[in-house]
Structure formats: C-alpha cells, structure tokens
Structure 1
C-alpha cells in the first residue's frame, strides 16, 4: 500500500498515548497503527507550502522567495518579542500580524530534554508541547498578545533553555523535576508589565505520553536530500519525529514541502 503527497507537520490528537496523523491532499495515515511495521520513504520532489510551486524548499516548508516575503515567516514568529501589531506597526502584512499576534498567548515551562521556557498561542495548547516532545508542561502566564509573551520569555531565557535538545528528547533522557514548584518560584523574574497576569498556582500540569515501543540509545537523522530512499521498521513517534528500530529518526517538520511516497509492507 502506498501514500503520496506533500509533507506537512503531523497532526496530533491528545490522548494516552497521543495519536499521530500524516495528512495528504487525498489520504491520511494514522501513524500509531504503523508501529512495528516496515515503512519505505521515497523523496520525489518539492512543493512550496505557500505558493505551491515545485521550487526547492528553503525553510519552514517555503521556497526562498516566499520565506523572504510571506507574513507567516516574519522574524516575530521565532522571536515573539519583535511583535509590533499591538502598536499598529506592520512588519510584512499588518492584517495577518494582528490576527496572529493580538490573541491570548501562553508562556510556559516544558520538560522535554531539560526545563525549557517557551511561547505559544493559547489555541495551540497542548499541540505545541506535543510537537516539542515534552513529557510535562505547565503554563506560567496567559497574556493578551504575542509581544507580552515574548518579553516574558526573554526575561526567563537567562534562567532556562529556550530550545529542546532533540537527541536527549528522542532518547528519553529527561531529569526528574517538579515543574509546578519551579514555575511557582518565578514571580520575581516576570517583567513588571506582565506581573498582573502571573497566578500563584497554574491551572493545570499537562502530562504527555508518546507512542514509543523502544527509545533508541543512539540517533541518526534521516536527510532526504542525502538519502532520498529509506526503509526501516517504525518503533515510535515523539515530537514531530518518526523513530525507527535502527536508531534512524526522521523529523517530519524539517521536511515540510517535500513530496514523498510512503510504502507500507
């Protein structure tokens, strides 16, 4: 059985364990059902997620021209503190930026490889944490726009990582910490303008369980540009990674915009 289409990040459904889906234009795969089965992934070409042209992907599923011009690829995406829509100042497209930036955002602590601080739109809870491979997460503050979330994250970066160590995350090398206690001790680190949003006790601690039969001891990334065809037995899914029995891992999100054929034995 074969499936063909343009890769986009796996869609997820919160559960115990989390359910994963690869969605193509005319079909979809429930990845959980493929555990312990042989998959063949074949690279067939590119298709920009923005313009739809068959141009080489530059970053985030976009060709170079779209990445440099699209409002969905502005610097404020990766650096929320650069958001300006609340000031009515345009970066690339003010209408789009207001839509995304001027909505509730969560600043959080998550445990994926070590404690990390991050920002997500409220509508992306718990999807954002699933995509990072976090096993636990707690909200720190909920603020009305992306800028306030961004300056809070910047203030906390001096004390916590802001990126996941993907190798440790995939090997499940995670320290034992009490995220709620950690979070409740942050009050004096929060910027003054965000202090009113800081609550003494978080609404909820999220626990996330992934469909993994066995975690690898060593990991080796599959790069479709260098290895256009790969076959392996699927042993797990975590974050946006497919984990194979031989320790090969495939980051679906890295290869958004790549056209692939997936064959099932």
Structure 2
C-alpha cells in the first residue's frame, strides 16, 4: 500500500483506544491499522500549508514569508494573553482574530509527563489533550474569549508547569495525579476577572493511547537529516509515531513536508 501527500497533524477520534488518521488531499489513512506493520517514510519535498509553494518550511508548516504574515501564525496563537480582538484591535487580520479569539476558551490541567496548565478553544477538547499525549486532564475555567484564558494561564504558570517533557511522555514514565485536588489548590491564583468562570463540578477525563510497546530510549526522526526511514510501528501517542527500534517521529513537527508512505 502506497500513500503520498503533505503532512498535517494527525486527526483524532477519542475512543478506547484513540483512533488516529493521516489526511491527504485525495486519501486518508487510519494509522492504528499500521500497528505491528513495517512502515517506510520518504521525504519528497516541502509544501507550505498556506501558499502551497515548494519553499523550505520555517515553522508550524509555513514558509518564512507566510509565517510572518498570516494571522494563523501570529504571536497570540502561542501566547493567548496577547489577544486583542476583544478590544476591537487588529494584530494581522481582525476578522480572523475575532472568529478565533472571541469564542469560549478553556484553561485546563493535563498530565502527560507532569501536571501542566494550558489553554485551548472549547471546541478543541479533548483533541488538544490527545495531541499533547495527556493520559488525564481536567478543565479549570471556561471563559468567553482567548484573552481571559491567556491571563489565567500566565497567573497559574507561577505555580504549575506550562511545559510537557516529551521524552517522559513518550517513554510513559508517568504517574497519576489527583487533578481535582490540583484544581482546588490553584483556584486562589486565578485572576479576579476569570474567577466567575471557575468550574468545580466536573471530573477528570482519562485517555487511552494505541501503544503496544513504549520506547526505552529515544531517537528522534528528522526528515531533513534522514529523508528515508523504515521501521515497525509499535504505537501512537500525542502526535508521535513510535517505532520498534526506539525511533520516534513527530508528525506535527513535520507539517508541510510532502512524504511517500509505504506499508508492508
């Protein structure tokens, strides 16, 4: 079986276990069905996710020019506290910014390698948690815009991590935490304007990843340095493919790369 297309982050469907899909222009692939099969990946060329030109990918699947021009790559994406659409103030494209920023956002706690705080649009739950490889997560506040979620995250970062240790997550060297207890402990640090949106009543969500065998040490596949790789797929976690020889491949980190995939 042969597939070819530009990589974008894997689409997911929550279940026991989570289902993963690679979506190409004229085809799609249920990645779970590749477990225990030999898979080869060949890097063919670049294709910017915005302009579609064959230009070297700079960040987030975009070429250098697009990354610094389009609203999908603006600073407020990574730093929600910089959002200004609620003030009717444009950064790169006010219409786009209003559409994304002025909708319900959730501040959450997720445990993928340790307890971390994060922000996402309400519509992205539980997708965001799956993408981060979290085995458990819980909402803390649900606010009407991205700015309020951003300032809440900034306030909580002083008391809990905002980073995932991807190595720990992929090796599954994790421990369960009482996220309800964590949420109660952190409530006192939530900014006054976000406090009315605090959630007390929900329970934590548990997620099950399709992994037959976790790697014991990690060798990260970089398609620029290794344009051809072949191995037996043993698991999928977060946005990573985990192979039998301890190679791990970050699909999301390779967005905008056109690849050929062969399954034996």
TM-score interval, normalised by the smaller of the two chains: over 0.9
Distance 1:23 1:56 in 2: 21
Query: Could you tell me how far 1:204 is from its partner in structure 2?
Result: 3.3
Query: Could you tell me how far 1:194 is from its partner in structure 2?
Result: 0.7
Give yes or no for contact 2:140–2:200 (8 Å, CA) kept in 1. Answer: no
Distance 2:32 2:176 in 1: 27
Query: Could you tell me how far 1:181 is from its partner in structure 2?
Result: 1.2
Aligned to 1:94: 94
Aligned to 1:118: 118
Gaps of 5+ in 2: none
Aligned to 1:134: 134
Distance 1:176 1:125 in 2: 20
Count of residues paired in the alignment: 264
1:43-192 equivalence runs, <5 A: 43-192=43-192
Distance 1:139 1:198 in 2: 9
Aligned to 2:232: 233
Distance 1:125 1:46 in 2: 30
Listed one character per residue, the Cα deviations across residues 3-48 of structure 1 (whole Å, up to 9, x for unaligned) are 0000000000000000000010011110100000000000000000
Listed one character per residue, the Cα deviations across residues 177-211 of structure 1 (whole Å, up to 9, x for unaligned) are 1111111222211001111111333x231100000
SS of the residue 1:160 aligns to:
coil
Listed one character per residue, the Cα deviations across residues 113-165 of structure 1 (whole Å, up to 9, x for unaligned) are 00000000000000000000000000000000000000000001011111110
Query: Could you tell me how far 1:2 is from its partner in structure 2?
Result: 0.6
Distance 2:31 2:52 in 1: 25
SS of the residue 2:193 aligns to:
helix
Aligned to 1:243: 242
Distance 2:195 2:235 in 1: 41
Distance 1:143 1:184 in 2: 18
Give yes or no for contact 2:50–2:62 (8 Å, CA) kept in 1. Answer: yes
Give yes or no for contact 2:21–2:29 (8 Å, CA) kept in 1. Answer: yes
Query: Could you tell me how far 1:175 is from its partner in structure 2?
Result: 2.2
Query: Could you tell me how far 1:176 is from its partner in structure 2?
Result: 2.6
Give the aligned CA root-mean-square deviation in angstroms. Answer: 0.7
Distance 2:188 2:66 in 1: 41
Deviates more, 1:62-71 or 1:190-199: 190-199
Scaled by the length of structure 2, the TM-score of the pair is 0.99
Gaps of 5+ in 1: none
Aligned to 1:257: 256
Distance 1:173 1:158 in 2: 24
Scaled by the length of structure 1, the TM-score of the pair is 0.98
Stretches of 4+ moved more than 4 A in 1? none
SS of the residue 2:98 aligns to:
helix
Distance 1:207 1:200 in 2: 18
